[in-house]
Structure 1
């Protein structure tokens, strides 16, 4: 029994850890813009970029993130989850190499889009892969750790980029995907993918490897039944948006992504150093940014520890309400500053507000939309649904990131944070009224609930 438990833990968590390494490698560009863009204004910079160019460069990564999942829709017809995740590493190598040798702003812009292609691809495929290989009892923590890897990567960029040359930090980031490729190439494909391809023997081998036992017939029959029922339908856009259960899952997924991206995270993550510098905080912005990165990790750890105990819905509700309160405090500070009211006695407020916002965001909004992407959709539309969700999130993030700089420069930073506060209020109402709970349920049970089924029969 101990040997089987060890084998199960070894293969299942080896796959998860390898995936996390890939997410870490692909997420360092998220934190790159905040500490590095100011370096392009120094005298020893390889090129000079304006604030307008910097806003485009910072946001371009999210544009690539939005395109990457759309590529996965086409490629998923010909290859499995594993090969798509391995293919995602190629744009990371190209993107970082371009930054090392870049001598113009447009080269930086293109490099960020290319890097984003790989990251968007990995964020759309890895939740599907891990959601299909993980048992229901610990699927939540395994999927939530994807965001932990992202937050660690952001902290990594915050911590090293301000203190190294632009080329050196890019070279270090270029090396990071290598361990991912070397580890992930040896791991099995998802049993759901094999079953959908009609390869039941390969599906059995994959499931046996992840469970560490050959006593898998009961679970294998559940997978086969689930895939057979789901693949009886076309699995296209019509299936995704016209079937009631799928449309409900899609509406919830897109709404969560919308509120996630409009909550203020993109502004704080991409422009945190500039925000702190504008707030006249005594501690240098680059050090406060590192603190914010560390708090992001702590907040995600808290969510990871409690997501399978408290459930998705309570964590999301806490995150939305907490984000609303904290962004409103930052908005109040900058609004007072805009009105020329003395803020010398509350200079601690924006830094504290941003840090508390990060804790609230990481306890729900950050990881759980990704977690639920791997849970809410049936196999026949999962690739398409996850790709659309991730693309929508990143295109929205691109718009938020770009418009934040425009609004801050033309109207005022306080207006941007008041908009974030309003969006968080709307998100709180949505989660309270319409958010379902998926904690502790198998993928089959979740589909039966969304499609209003009992014992395999749909209620009409």
Structure 2
């Protein structure tokens, strides 16, 4: 089967096949995390309804906001824990550990006797989610060659959104207590598949295990010695990687506060903070996490679960588009397009909400299709750039000496911002209606567009050791 890839181009090219397979397999845990997010988006409105809940208790709007917010707080904790584990026990062992809190979270969902079970469950699921944002981009960045790194890293968002879509469908169609069984089986499959992939060559070189590193590089480069020339080229590639790792280690020895406070680092931190803010407050996550609740507020005539499934399919299409285009057209053009289009979609959503709630305008001719069409448009354009690309840039824009630590700090900020959004959005939706939150998201996207045009540089195809935010 894989022999068919010998004449393929791009990520399916013969020498890239194991990099692709490893990336697909490790992002299964991202699919699992997305599955849990999709479950929450659909199940929340059911658990808040005395007529629809399958549990012995009903969740209030306030409790629902805490369930959503605790997922992001768990993400911040996961960023820190797995950020430490990454260098302490290695990329491969850390990847195994991602599955543990996620499995426990579904056990708590199955045996839930009160809302506190769900609080702890979503916190633990968030820990796994936060860990994926730390481990997976670094793992893929260390095994992938620069020409396909963007597309393989974008698999993170593709599998996340595919998991959300499956979570939407299964939760809408399956009884409550069947879903945790699926939620437990998925990470078990993920752990079994990880057995077949070695530790990254860069981590092994950093630990002085040169022979294991060479075997690992041969595996991921799909190296098959056919001629003396190919063997020489591989040895040169290995020596260059070894030199890069040695240089990186020399640069990272004795990291001080000055390394975080110099001009280059401050520019990178500023870019990272803005990208995280824009990623969260462009509004796509609000639609993602509270899809059914938003369609209830929009008074659409279709069933909220049907709308949610359609939106989930569209967001998968959007992030697949980004996966294809990120290494072809670059990061910056996709971000610019995504920001501009998302601001338009959010403005339209806000206008719809304003006319629905504050005027007597008859919206019955458009109520059946406009909220759904607009939500689909927003999720497609946001997932074409604003959702996946900031995490690609987060690794690429940071100075090599502080890359891991700086990226971890930005991810903690991302989860703090996510907590604010998840906690406040349902409360704001109930207090102010649909239009004020949507107009806030539109304003954020417009300001983000201006910032990207002025300050964000293109990093397409550049070596991780050569990207400099000042150039």
State the TM-score, normalized to the length of structure 1: 0.92
Q: Give yes or no for contact 1:263–1:323 (8 Å, CA) kept in 2.
A: yes
Q: Give yes or no for contact 1:329–1:349 (8 Å, CA) kept in 2.
A: no
* Correspondence 1:203 to 2:224: no
Greater shift after overlay, 222-231 or 258-267? Answer: 222-231
Greater shift after overlay, 77-86 or 36-45? Answer: 36-45
Q: Give yes or no for contact 2:400–2:464 (8 Å, CA) kept in 1.
A: no
Q: Secondary structure at the match of 2:302?
A: coil
Q: Of the candidates 2, 25, 38, which is equivalent to residue 18 of structure 1?
A: 25
* Correspondence 1:429 to 2:450: yes
Deviation of the 1:433 alpha carbon: 0.6
Distance between the aligned counterparts of 1:115 and 1:326, measured in 2? 30
* Correspondence 1:222 to 2:222: no
Deviation of the 1:379 alpha carbon: 5.1
CA pair 240-398 structure 1, distance change in 2 beyond 3 A:
farther
Aligned to 1:273: 292
Q: Give yes or no for contact 1:96–1:174 (8 Å, CA) kept in 2.
A: yes
* Correspondence 1:145 to 2:155: yes
Q: Secondary structure at the match of 2:122?
A: helix
Aligned to 1:455: none
Unpaired runs of at least 5, structure 1: 453-460
Q: Of the candidates 412, 425, 434, which is equivalent to residue 413 of structure 1?
A: 434
Aligned to 1:315: 334
Aligned to 1:33: 40
Q: Give yes or no for contact 2:278–2:445 (8 Å, CA) kept in 1.
A: yes
CA pair 39-243 structure 1, distance change in 2 beyond 3 A:
same
Greater shift after overlay, 163-172 or 258-267? Answer: 163-172
Aligned to 1:45: 54
Aligned to 1:457: none
Aligned to 2:364: 344
Aligned to 1:445: 466
CA pair 417-358 structure 1, distance change in 2 beyond 3 A:
same
Deviation of the 1:14 alpha carbon: 2.0
Distance between the aligned counterparts of 2:412 and 2:436, measured in 1? 27
Deviation of the 1:385 alpha carbon: 2.6
* Correspondence 1:384 to 2:405: yes
Distance between the aligned counterparts of 2:466 and 2:288, measured in 1? 36
Q: Give yes or no for contact 1:273–1:286 (8 Å, CA) kept in 2.
A: yes
Q: Of the candidates 166, 187, 210, which is equivalent to residue 177 of structure 1?
A: 187
Q: Of the candidates 37, 56, 65, which is equivalent to residue 55 of structure 1?
A: 65
Aligned to 2:305: 286
Distance between the aligned counterparts of 1:444 and 1:196, measured in 2? 15
Q: Of the candidates 127, 130, 138, which is equivalent to residue 137 of structure 2?
A: 127
Deviation of the 1:37 alpha carbon: 1.2
1:199-221 CA deviation, whole Å, 9 max, x = no partner? 22222221111112254222223
Q: Give yes or no for contact 1:125–1:383 (8 Å, CA) kept in 2.
A: no
Deviation of the 1:235 alpha carbon: 6.5
Q: Secondary structure at the match of 1:439?
A: coil
Q: Secondary structure at the match of 2:290?
A: helix
Distance between the aligned counterparts of 1:121 and 1:310, measured in 2? 29
Q: Give yes or no for contact 2:83–2:134 (8 Å, CA) kept in 1.
A: no
Q: Of the candidates 81, 88, 92, which is equivalent to residue 78 of structure 1?
A: 88
Unpaired runs of at least 5, structure 2: 7-12, 224-230
CA pair 285-220 structure 1, distance change in 2 beyond 3 A:
same
Deviation of the 1:154 alpha carbon: 0.4
Q: Secondary structure at the match of 1:309?
A: coil
Distance between the aligned counterparts of 2:421 and 2:386, measured in 1? 16
Distance between the aligned counterparts of 1:64 and 1:426, measured in 2? 29
Q: Give yes or no for contact 2:83–2:131 (8 Å, CA) kept in 1.
A: no
Please tell me the root mean square deviation across aligned C-alpha atoms, in Å: 2.0
Distance between the aligned counterparts of 1:323 and 1:310, measured in 2? 19
Distance between the aligned counterparts of 2:218 and 2:5, measured in 1? 10
Q: Of the candidates 379, 395, 413, which is equivalent to residue 416 of structure 2?
A: 395
CA pair 363-237 structure 1, distance change in 2 beyond 3 A:
farther
Q: Give yes or no for contact 1:254–1:389 (8 Å, CA) kept in 2.
A: yes
State how many pairs are aligned.
Answer: 449
Q: Secondary structure at the match of 2:27?
A: helix
Aligned to 1:404: 425
Aligned to 2:380: 359
